[in-house]
A = this chain, B = another copy of it.
Amino acid sequence: MTGPRWLDDDEQRAWRSYLRMQARLTARLNRQLQADSGLSLADYDVLVQLTDTPDGRLRPFELQRDLQWEQSRLSHHLTRMQRRGLVVREECADDGRGAFVVLTDAGRDAIVAAAPGHVETVRRLFFDGLDAEQVATLERLSARVLDRLDPGEEPPA
């Protein structure tokens, strides 16, 4: 086989720039959320999914499908969120193996309190620096890469 196809200079710059941006932005968002609401980004994502359902309850496998998390990560995370009173687990009558994850009042309060500040931070740190063209390109770029990562997968609802 021939040697690897190394990245050219433009690709190098773009890749490094992307990696750094990604790392720093995630760290900032996490810190803002944590400091202002005591939630992590992961907590936030789980709570958003639950809030999007009419009765604030989902089966873990549905959460897993929506979030695309590893099953065991989800299980561990739900255990921790339950310990903190953000959700509770309930048994599932239909399926003896299954369970429900249910948003508690405290969980609902937490996400309601956290959302405005989080969105504001996303806007301030990210979108406010970009024009519509860049945002559109980002979306197509992400979609293309996602398609290569999981060929033939439905986009999330």
Q: Are B14 and A139 in contact (CB under 8 A)?
A: yes
Determine how many copies of this chain the complex contains: 2
Instruction: Point out the residues of chain B lying under 8 angstroms from A16, CB to CB.
Output: 156
**Chain B residue with minimal CB distance to A149?**
B24
Binds B, one of A85-93, A103-111, A128-136: A128-136
Please tell me which one of the listed residues B115, B141, B146, B149 contacts residue A130 in the complex, with CB atoms under 8 A apart: B141
A10 at the binding interface (Cβ < 8 Å)? yes
Query: 1/0 per position for A131-157, CB-CB distance to B under 8 A?
Result: 011111111111111111110000010
Q: With A and B bound together, what is the CA distance between A129 and B120 in angstroms?
A: 32
Write the nearest CB–CB distance from A156 to chain B, whole angstroms.
8
